[in-house]
A and B are shown apart, each in its own frame.
Chain A
Amino acid sequence: MSSLLIELKDIEKSYETADVVTQALKGIDFKIYGGDYFCVSGPSGCGKSTLLSILGLLDTPSKGAYFIEGKDVSKLNMDELSGIRNRQIGFIFQSFNLIDELSVFDNVALPLRYSEYKKQPEVIAQKVNRCLELVGLSHRVSHRPNQLSGGQQQRVAIARALVNDPAILLVDEPTGNLDSNSGDQIMDLLDELNAQGRTICMVTHDERYASRAKTQLRLLDGLIEQQHVQQAEAC
């Protein structure tokens, strides 16, 4: 049995505008174990991305408890949350979120600049190059993001997510901005990473890619509609 990595208890999230309160998540409970390939799917507006933002500590729940490796993160201050994002979470966004002014190398190195390795350029170079090799972009280190295709930019984003060796990869619609061929390649890469033991939590509305996950969670209107664990590979 793998160790418990993430645990959500009765998570709720609501947004308030002038006269309307929107309940995006309405009491979500689940657990993610190490080495899992966890997928959250559902129709547009069901709360997938909100859930992923909360998992990635990019947003805070309105109610409920969130534990990472048994630690209640709701009690941490901003800097401690930054530390967890840096060391334990790798985020892959639908729109890549690369910095245009930085080269591919520097974009990938970004998390290391805020880590314990920030004063060790050799270690940074070694880690970055290894990750770029992993995603097949060793020949593009000096390029700028806007000189790359969409698929290549997403690979850079994956390399950046991996570079600090996080406990979990949080992936938000990784193929949303890509053509089907590039999308398939990215999904193959994620499969490969999971096969190597990397824990992945992915949000997608594409059932084709959702079915690749070991654990599938389907959301509808902020509630878990269905949770399915593939028996053959279930932990």
Chain B
Amino acid sequence: MSELVYQLKYALAGIISRKSLSGGIIVTMGVTLAALFVAASLFYVLVVKPLPYPDQDRLYRVDQIQYDSKNKPNVNAYGYAGLIHLYRNQTVFDAVGLVDYNEEILSSNATQPRVFTSYVTPDFLTTIGAWTERGRLFGNDEALDSYGSAALLSFDAWQRLFGGADDILGRKLQVRGRSYSVVGVMSKAFVEPELAQIGRKTDIYLPWDHNPVGQNQRRSWTDRTNSRVFIGKLKAQYSAAQAEQITTQMLNQQWQINTRSIGFYRGWQIKMSLKSFAQVILGDSKKLAYLLMVCALSLLLIAVVNVANLLLSRAFERKREFAICASVGATNKDIFRAAFTESALLMLCAAFFGLTLAHLANGLMQRYLAGVLPLGNAAGTGAVLLGLGVVAALALAYVFAHISTYVLDFRQLKEALSGSGKGTGNQISKRVRNAFIVSQVALASIIVFVNLSFFVSANRAIDDPDIMITDNLISVRLSLAGDRGPSRDTNRSLMAEIAKKFQYMPIVEGVSLSRSPLDSSFNTWSLVELGSMMRVLPEAKNIDENYLTIAGAKLLDGRLLNAVDTVDRRRVLVINDVLAKRLAPNGSALGKLLSFNASAGANMAFEVVGVVKGMQLPGEHNIPPRIYRPLRSNDSLIIKLKPHQSLSKARIAAIVNDVSRQFAVYDHALVDEQKQDKLFNQYLSAAASIALTLVSLLLSAVGLYGIISYNIALRRTEIGIHLSVGATRRDVILLFLHDLIKPMALAFAIGAMATVFLYGYLEQYMQSVMVQFGFILGLLTFGFMTAICLFGTLRPLFIGFGRNTIDLLKGQD
């Protein structure tokens, strides 16, 4: 015990006596281990950890893909009737379930909050292994066609909406005018599978039968709404491919029979696609986890090289100390133990620092990324991370102790004592020194260059000048405040009245009775151009006469839509230039007739009356062909404010209620914020890459500065020798800078070659960036690295110059 205490005290004294070196090592390894812990947590959650559902490897989301007559996938959506047919007649699953995802107003609550509702069949919940905190799950009373009126609350909704009320069971709640009775509350530990949208958490589960699909639509086989999901637990004897084949055969046959009379679907077919829960829930997140892990391991590599270099320098410095130990009987093992104890203490400090940072980072991720990554509740589990940290610290300490003592020739240790002790400064060989610098600069250059490239690439996507301008736009969606709404005609005139009210406000520049350009309001239309009989599949949006003006569309040919077009619902279209070029590569697309059904004749066709320049939506790489049809929205409007003006939800609600109390403001959002949401991946990518760049720079700056300055400090005697024979300070500076040129040049050459090599793998991300910014980014990286090296060289030199030459010669501080 006393031996251990002695070792610890001895190591601690060594650490304290070299504060800047120890601080550099702790910061370097702490930041790196934090990055590694975060990446490892994500990797565990997204790649390694099994999903928390029984038989999760047999659970699938079953999709129905509609293929057009050219056998191209058109839409992933079930017709309601087809979905029910599959549910009743499938033979390949042991258990199946249905869910229809919606967002509605809980009108029984005084604040009328918007809630996420899921209309489910009872077997949906049992298939995913749901269980309750209180009450029961759905049973036979809520089965298909039983029209039960039970409701289940999520644990969070129970707490948030009902204050965790003890008497929650039996309480009544009202959604879309229908009353339900709460029969259960989901367990707190139950994690809902995010099958439709990452981050969406159901508040209230309701029986499937009451989903909002109208009675007519329930008979449809061609519905294109994709809010409904079919899940199944595959029978053990079937593979996913076999199940796809069997269900496709079964459902496509019925689908063909039921769509035979619809010309639009002539030549179309459906195919079933099974996606495992892991694929659906984790999706691209797995790639992100791998990418983050690679980045974290690269950082670890830099940090290990840094710290190994610093500890090597320290070992050289301690050569005399080790020699003294050896002279009084210390064995190689004793000296290794001393080195290991010091390394272990340093690494443990770094691990605890890293764990603290990782804990903070995990908190931030849970807060900001839970909506885009399926993090579950498992990221950053304290005990696991702590164990991981201690093990990593001790493993690294063992490696560093080996590296530190490996370079010492124990046979020569005693020779270090042969000097008098005066003027026996340590010197590390030039080759070792240069190897340190080359490895450090090359690694850091590669990482900084690649990350800067990613950053520039993401930033370009964010600042793309072709992206639609969304400044000062507010998107408003209205819903019925009561159970019954006005007639269609009344609704139309009320909406026009509401629009007019806003239009008269002095802060408003324009109003459009259309849905936000960013709320997925485009549908794919399959149209035939009657002249050439060419089939096109443009994205279509219903708009009023003001939309294109408000959205800043640039008219290239013909005219925009006008009030007569929208009021009379004329069969005219404005198209974008992408579609115009397809329809008339060498001329004008004006006057072209587009129809769903070529045989229906010109009367049923839409005439192209205008061509606008394509507007890129955030996150889009290419602008697709688009058409705009004159049809005013009956529940949405876009308000364009004058610059520097704002309009609160309360004010909007007041104006709407001024016109009619039958409407409530269901949703109110700045379109610019919607744009930010759409660009989240780009923002995330930009933030992650700039963070990685900064961490890499920090690590390489600490490492390089440490290596260079520490080695210069170790070369104090050499500096003293030069000064003692008459070298001026300028001579010494030039000498040391000259020493840097070769390793720096070699490092940049290696970095450049590695970047070219990496380019092969990262071409899709880096191509345009490399062409336009490669030189500048290279120069920036070169500049960063050179500045760090210069600072690392000059600072300790000037510190040395401040001392007497004799002190330098004696190697004294």
Chain A residues engaging chain B, CB cutoff 8 angstroms? 49, 53, 56-60, 78-79, 82-87, 91, 93-95, 97-101, 110-111, 113-115, 160, 164, 173, 176-177
Contact = CB atoms under 8 A, between A and B. Distances in A.
B727 interface: yes
B730 to A, nearest CB: 8
A94 B806 CA distance: 13
Contact of A177 (B419, B723, B731, B801): B419
Contact of A58 (B420, B424, B728, B806): B806
Q: Which 10 A-B pairs have the closest CB atoms?
A: A86-B726, A95-B423, A111-B725, A58-B806, A58-B805, A53-B806, A82-B728, A85-B726, A114-B727, A59-B806
Given A59-B806, A114-B727, 5 more contacts: A87-B726, A94-B422, A100-B427, A110-B725, A111-B726
A95 B422 contact: yes
Interface in B723-738: 723-731
A91 B723 CA distance: 11
Contacts of B420: 94-95, 173, 176-177
A139 to B, nearest CB: 24
Nearest to B807: A59
A82 B727 contact: yes
Nearest to A84: B726
Interface string B393-411: 0000000000000000000
A78 B729 contact: yes
B771 to A, nearest CB: 44
Of listed B418, B422, B429, B724, residue having the most chain A CB within 10 A: B724
Contacts of A114: 722, 725-728, 731
B726 A82 contact: yes
Contacts of A98: 721
Contacts of A99: 427, 718, 721
B422 A97 contact: no
Given A79-B729, A82-B728, A91-B725, A97 B720 contact: yes
26 contacts: A53-B804, A58-B723, A58-B724, A58-B809, A59-B804, A78-B729, A79-B730, A82-B731, A86-B725, A86-B726, A86-B727, A94-B422, A95-B422, A95-B423, A97-B809, A99-B427, A99-B718, A100-B429, A110-B722, A110-B725, A111-B726, A114-B722, A114-B727, A114-B728, A164-B726, A177-B420
Contact of A85 (B427, B718, B724): B724
Contacts of B729: 78-79, 82
B117 interface: no
Of listed B418, B427, B730, B805, residue having the most chain A CB within 10 A: B805
Nearest to B721: A97
Given A60-B804, A101-B430, A114-B731, A93 B726 contact: no
Contacts of A86: 725-727
B32 interface: no
B469 to A, nearest CB: 63
B717 interface: yes
Interface of B: 418-420, 422-424, 427, 429-430, 717-718, 720-731, 801, 804-806, 809
A56 B724 contact: yes
Contacts of A110: 721-722, 725
Contacts of B806: 53, 58-59
Contacts of A84: 726
A176 B423 CA distance: 12
A15 B722 CA distance: 25
Contacts of B720: 58, 97
Contacts of B723: 58, 82, 85
Contacts of A94: 420, 422-423
Of listed A78, A86, A97, residue having the most chain B CB within 10 A: A97
Given A83-B726, A114-B731, A93 B809 contact: yes
Contacts of B728: 78-79, 82-83, 114
Contacts of B801: 78
B726 A115 contact: yes
Of listed B418, B720, B731, B806, residue having the most chain A CB within 10 A: B806
Given A58-B805, A58-B806, A59-B805, A91 B429 contact: no
Given A58-B806, A58-B809, A59-B805, A97 B727 contact: no
Nearest to B431: A101
A93 B422 CA distance: 10
A182 to B, nearest CB: 13
Contacts of A87: 726
Contacts of A56: 724
B429 A101 contact: yes
A57 B728 CA distance: 13
Given A58-B809, A79-B729, A177-B418, A91 B724 contact: yes
A60 B429 CA distance: 32
A87 B726 CA distance: 8
A101 B718 CA distance: 10
Contacts of B805: 53, 57-59
Contacts of B725: 85-86, 91, 110-111, 114, 160
Nearest to B723: A82
A85 B720 CA distance: 12
A81 B738 CA distance: 24
A94 B724 CA distance: 14
Contacts of A97: 423, 717, 720-721, 724, 809
Contacts of A53: 804-806
Contacts of B424: 95
B425 to A, nearest CB: 9
A79 B728 CA distance: 6
A156 to B, nearest CB: 12
Of listed A85, A95, A173, A176, residue having the most chain B CB within 10 A: A95
Nearest to B429: A101
B316 to A, nearest CB: 12
Nearest to A85: B726
B724 A95 contact: no
Contacts of A95: 419-420, 422-424
A97 B720 CA distance: 9
A114 to B, nearest CB: 5
A164 B724 CA distance: 13
B718 to A, nearest CB: 6
B427 A101 contact: yes
A114 B418 CA distance: 31
B736 to A, nearest CB: 13
Contacts of A111: 725-726
Contacts of B726: 82-87, 111, 114-115, 164
Contacts of A58: 720, 723-724, 804-806, 809
B735 to A, nearest CB: 9
A127 B809 CA distance: 25
A125 B385 CA distance: 65
A195 B69 CA distance: 112
Contacts of B722: 110, 114
A49 B731 CA distance: 27
Contacts of A115: 726
Contacts of A91: 724-725
A221 B378 CA distance: 73
B743 to A, nearest CB: 14
A160 B728 CA distance: 17
Nearest to B418: A177
B592 to A, nearest CB: 81
A173 B423 CA distance: 12
A49 B424 CA distance: 15
